Amino acid sequence: MTQEFLPFALPEIGDDEIAEVIDTLRSGWVTTGPKVSQFESDFSKFLSSDVESLGVNSATAGLHLGLEALGVGLGDEVITTTHTFTATAEVIRYLGAIPVFVDVDVNSLCINIAAVEAAITLRTKAIIPVHFAGRAADMGALMKLASRHGIKVMEDAAHALPTTCEGKLVGTLDSDISVFSFYANKTMTTGEGGMLVTRNQDIAERVRMMRLHGMNCDAFNRFTSKKPSWYYEVLAPGYKYNMTDVAASIGIHQLRRIRVFQQKRARIADLYDAAFADLPIAPPPRPVQGDMHAWYLYVIQLGDDACVNRDDFIDQMFAQKVGCSVHYIPLHLHPYWRDTYRLTREMFPISQQIYERCVSLPIYSKMTDNDVERVVRAVRVAVG
């Protein structure tokens, strides 16, 4: 029998998610409504009772709304890492602000705090750290730096559920905002979707209004209240970033299993670490002692003594019907960012080195032991 292709990522959707979606479809209310409200409440309880969670239709939307709520605007500078997906930076441009790119730390693959400090100017309005692959950035040092300079911090936590930093869940730290992703391949999914989390009530109110056209009342509240259902007021030129009840129906049950998902991913990471210990491969950075890694990605780096380069390695993995990917093609290599901001690979030596050597291997909660063994065998063959 021909062996099937082992994909890079797959969501784990159960009967509870399916039943909840069916219940939503039968209810007649499929856009933002009671299921979104429940999901938001559940998410806040999962993190901490003193945070407010706001569902959006993508993490990109959450990042955009967050920067807008922080008052970022034309000509402001926002510092972030080059080693990320383009969404982290593009939301800065949405507001006419200027992205300032810095390198990553060689030991964590997250934003380099010393590089952030060197990039701060009088125009710096905010910093967006990225918790790469599910490992927390050095938020203690970053928050001290931001506090000294009076700079806002919004965490790109797309990879980071349920990551901890200094014993606290990401989403409960001292930053102004955290934004999570529920895209199809994340540690939990709603298909498409995201969650913005903040303790600041002014930010929460601004985001709540701006995620739905700048209106002061959403459709569910209008059509279920005792006031005339036709009346609302537009208070600002907002966006169309609301989460649907269909998406939230999936999220309600995915969230209940997030700890189990993390444990499965962590076990796979441990198996990989042991299996590759004798190969010319650098494993992903482990979290600080006592902290939790979400293991959204398992990113290896090929060593100097490997008998194959990164691109050929990937070709050999696919030839063995094992999917893999690269995280990330750094922003300084993409034509728009490179040409607009005159970026060169020499400006970001750590990110460039990681990119040239890195491969992301399959790691997801639906993987079986046989799947893991297939990946291990394929890696050993590909390395030569």
In Å, how far are 30, 38, 334 from 256, measured between CA atoms? 21, 13, 38
Query: Cα–chain-centroid distance for residue 259?
Result: 17
> Cβ distance 180 to 159 under 8 Å?
no
d(CA 162, CA 187): 8
d(CA 21, CA 24): 5
Instruction: Judge whether 227 counts as a catalytic residue.
Output: no
Locate 208 and state its tokens.
Answer: 């709540």
Burial of 167 per CB tally in 10 Å (0-12, 13-18, 19+)? exposed
Q: How many residues does the chain have?
A: 384
> Cβ distance 362 to 9 under 8 Å?
yes
Q: Is 242 helix (H, G, I), strand (E, B) or coil?
A: strand
Please tell me which residue in 125, 186, 226, 240 is annotated as part of the active site: 186
Helix or strand (DSSP H, E) at 101: strand 98-102
Q: DSSP for 276-340?
A: TTTSSEEPPPPPPTT-----S-EEEEE-TT-SS-HHHHHHHHHHTTB--B-S---GGGSHHHHHH
d(CA 66, CA 188): 21
Active site residues: 186
